[in-house]
Structure 1
């Protein structure tokens, strides 16, 4: 009777394991949905040849990753390098070194740089005083190289090599572990016709970064200096207004509302393109209480200027996927909650991003409750969103449990029976792990065949994965019930 009863318990556990593993597989497949497929569904189809080499989307408030593909691929960010220059300029303003009304006088050197046709620029007139606020607009919208150098030299007191070292030091401080700067603007120093001098810096060096690192930079930029968006959120800007030197520029960020591929909620931030980097894009977008940061790198090829537009179709598709897949909402209420079979009291309501139509999972550690996320945080230096809690321990329950265990009668054959259970559990666990490893191996091989794509599943990898989970959970059921 005892064996029959527990056999049905084990069978029930096995069926539950099947349901859990199938549900887990469905969620994993959804998380790894192919970019080209969901782009087509979103209404922003990506043409073959214009798939981004790397991309990432994070929650601008917590650093939680919502989407990623090749986030650590080393890439030339081109003019996106100007974002670090703006960061350091805003930091200098915060430190009181100058303000937005401070002016930089145009020297002959700056006039000469402004006339280099191969560089993106704007007109600079000799002897004219250019306010910092206008330099910011020139950097952000027409991506002016001369304005970028004028801003960098203001920060560094004309120590051009020192400013580049400062860029790399700040990158390291922020946790941008795969970023190296060789210039302040994205254009190689050698392209400035000798007017940009940085002793000790390779003049032909090409800046390198990753989608993850650029997302980290933008996260800190928006956190510390949210007013930067005033320079990036308009489709058309005019600099030096009410002066003879006024210029009007249309943005290269075609995802801004009012621009060619306007997407609701986009309010910045910077584009970049170059022969080595193709077409790149950082976007910030806000809907309701949710703000996202997106980085898209390597769309198309410099020889085909269509990539300038296609990067925004790709960016819109990825943003739309993140907004439609996730929702920001209250996950737990202040007060008493049961989390992971523990009674805890939260000091305040807890909000976060979760996939729609799914139940959130949490971790409890060191007095903090955090949201579990399949993709993790964009940087280990940015902690997951959390809330303080206090745990309610019931000593009476623990004591009664110990007392009941003390009364348990142990059969004389228990040692043999336990040894048999351990053997069965061990065998099932090993088989399960082997099947999971095989499913990963096959998926990697498939990903290798489909160059540039994420790991994809097939009926074979799906079966191996499910069987692996079933074996492992069956091992658990044998250990518990038999």
Structure 2
């Protein structure tokens, strides 16, 4: 009997442990602890919302090396989109571009002095193989000189609100490696940005010129195929599928390496419909050698963390009724109030296991009262939306909430003269009554 009781007790205990395991599973499924990223600065964001998923010294100004060429790509694609330059336009190689291109200790495809190359050829060499001579040639084509191009780079950084930055050349090299061609800054200056600024640039580049990903995801290509100048180019972003550290879903963007900047990488990948952008500045570790696995290892940590723990979810549909306040007062209208609705759907980054996230909302109206007539879909204010109990990392632009416009739900016509007169009379007697009541109260005070 004791054996039976003992066995029964063990069975009950086992069942209890199993059940308790089921009960605690929601806790276990919560977002895992942030990764330890072995780099001087890093950031991970969800691309469509700009929500920050991970951040480490993201506002620290640091060297960016050849990730500079993302700005080159933006300015070139902008010029092409504006019709100022065409892909088949010819570019004559200057002495400056030629000299830099001959240094094979740097990333380069050797260019011939005075020879013509197409914009397309030079762009692909720059974007895929990080060719520095090609970057200089493109800068000279777009702006006439590298100095003028650097001015465009700095102005674009201001316009895109990339934050603190310093551009002194089009390549990302240290100025002392420019073979005497330095045109901006000191003899040992380099380009600098913050991890946040690089993530902003990547977000703008992907949004404004999504075609950049077609080139950025190209793993291998022959430069000047079929000629005596043919060079096999392999993309330095070894996270691309098919390369050394290939990862499914990665389709960009740009690596960078100098002694000052260290090993850097701006990467982007898509899983289950969510695009994540990561930036690593001066990755550490990864073993010996100039091109170790460090930047790819640290990037993978952020990508794993982002995709394993978060998703983008529509938490409120466009045209949803606003609850607090549910309406706004209307003066001189056929109705005294008009209802309020949201303009756009609200999408938030939420924990992957949360199918019914709780929201915090706050509505700010421009005015307390509208005057009739009022048109449907008139913007009257803004709603801030965030997750209850969410993190404090906020968004790439510095805000802490997702903000959407609040609109009027219906038309409100202006009341006719008779109704307005009745309203005026009503208001008069209401005011008069209040005056008398106040006077009577005064007698007893």
- The answer to whether TM tops 0.5 is yes
The yes-or-no answer on 1:223 pairing with 2:210 is no
How far has the Cα of 1:76 moved from its partner? 0.7
Match of 1:180 in 2: 166
The yes-or-no answer on 1:274 pairing with 2:288 is no
2:188 aligns to what SS in structure 1? coil
Query: Where do residues 90-109 of structure 1 align in structure 2 (5 Å cutoff)?
Result: 90-109=77-96
Select the residue among 41, 44, 53 that pairs with 1:57. Answer: 44
Match of 1:377 in 2: 395
Match of 2:358 in 1: 359
How far has the Cα of 1:169 moved from its partner? 1.7
Query: Where do residues 151-230 of structure 1 align in structure 2 (5 Å cutoff)?
Result: 151-157=138-144, 159-194=145-180, 196-198=181-183, 201-230=185-214
Partners of 2:307 and 2:361 in 1: CA distance: 22
Change (3 A) 1:257 1:143: same
- Alignment check: 8 A CA contact 1:275 1:303 kept: no
Change (3 A) 1:242 1:329: farther
- Alignment check: 8 A CA contact 2:31 2:309 kept: no
- Alignment check: 8 A CA contact 1:370 1:386 kept: yes
How far has the Cα of 1:333 moved from its partner? 2.8
Partners of 1:145 and 1:337 in 2: CA distance: 55
Match of 1:389 in 2: 406
Select the residue among 70, 75, 78 that pairs with 2:65. Answer: 78
Match of 2:412 in 1: none
Match of 2:245 in 1: 261
How far has the Cα of 1:83 moved from its partner? 1.2
Partners of 2:104 and 2:226 in 1: CA distance: 27
Q: Could you say which structure has the larger radius of gyration? A: 2
Change (3 A) 1:348 1:166: closer
1:291 aligns to what SS in structure 2? strand
- Alignment check: 8 A CA contact 2:89 2:119 kept: yes
Match of 1:473 in 2: none
- Alignment check: 8 A CA contact 1:275 1:302 kept: no
- Alignment check: 8 A CA contact 1:57 1:294 kept: yes
- Alignment check: 8 A CA contact 1:232 1:270 kept: yes
- How many residue pairs get matched? 349
Give TM-score, length-normalised by structure 2: 0.71
The yes-or-no answer on 1:148 pairing with 2:135 is yes
Change (3 A) 1:307 1:365: farther
Change (3 A) 1:101 1:306: same
Alignment deviations for residues 12-67 of structure 1 (CA, whole Å, 9 cap, x no partner)? xxxxxxxxxxxxxx99xx7793423xxxxxxxxx7xxxx11111112222322122
- Alignment check: 8 A CA contact 1:108 1:126 kept: yes
Change (3 A) 1:335 1:86: closer
How far has the Cα of 1:150 moved from its partner? 0.4
- Alignment check: 8 A CA contact 1:299 1:307 kept: no
Change (3 A) 1:118 1:324: same
Q: Note the residue ranges of structure 1 that are not aligned, 5 or more in a row.
A: 1-25, 37-45, 393-482
Match of 1:432 in 2: none
Change (3 A) 1:335 1:254: same
Q: Which has the higher helix share?
A: 1
Give TM-score, length-normalised by structure 1: 0.66
Change (3 A) 1:257 1:371: farther
How far has the Cα of 1:190 moved from its partner? 2.2
- Alignment check: 8 A CA contact 1:161 1:201 kept: no
Greater RCO, CA 8 A, separation 6+: 1
Q: Note the residue ranges of structure 2 that are not aligned, 5 or more in a row.
A: 1-26, 328-339, 366-380, 410-445
- Alignment check: 8 A CA contact 2:286 2:294 kept: no
